Structure 1
């Protein structure tokens, strides 16, 4: 199994249940793991034989721009859109961390992680 990772993608966005979260915003850190076959690209050195992580990054940024109450909803949209664009991906794991959640105490962040496996013919 081959994997593509995007690690610690930092994006400023406006998600949350509280109204001020949709106005003030905060930084989010995203980590994605994608499973697909990369062996053809390993042999050909051709971008057409792989999945461009720049394209995955663009999808993540576009979906993060859409305000949502729940990070689960954002993660679900990102995973669905990645799979719609790249049906050869068999598994996607996405972790989203809100760096400044509106809660008591000091913390690095609050995170959710969503993962999904796809059958090869599932589009």
Structure 2
């Protein structure tokens, strides 16, 4: 049995995007911060990129989905997770969150936060 668990993650990926339920949000856009974390059993330690999750791929997935305007952040999170799983089927756990900075609502709200997790049944 492999005693190791490996985590590959990106934290604080800053994006400007047009996500939002209200039409004006999709016109004016907002600033977002995305965190994406993957956990899996390491395939090996032979200093080969093919044996791990490439965080450049994770960044590309985030940027693609942030460009794909959605009403709900939950949809964006689900799309990110599905792409990670499709690219890296050996991943056991994926956790992704999005913070919308200064969401347009009354009062002084620093950020809204939505998180979604996926875990295999191993």
Query: Please, what TM-score do these two structures have when normalized by structure 1?
Result: 0.90
Cα shift at 1:79: 0.4
**1:38 Cα deviation from its structure 2 partner:** 2.9
1:1-123 mapped onto 2 (5 Å cutoff) = 1-38=5-42, 40=44, 43-119=45-121
Moved over 3 A (4+): none
SS of structure 2 residue aligned to 1:68: coil
With the length of structure 2 as denominator, give the TM-score of the two structures.
0.91
Cα-Cα RMSD: 1.3
Instruction: After superposition, give the CA deviation of every residue in 1:12-51 in whole Å (9 maximum; x if it has no partner).
Output: 10001111110110111011111112361xx211111111
CA distance in 1, matches of 2:99, 2:38: 18
- The aligned length equals 118
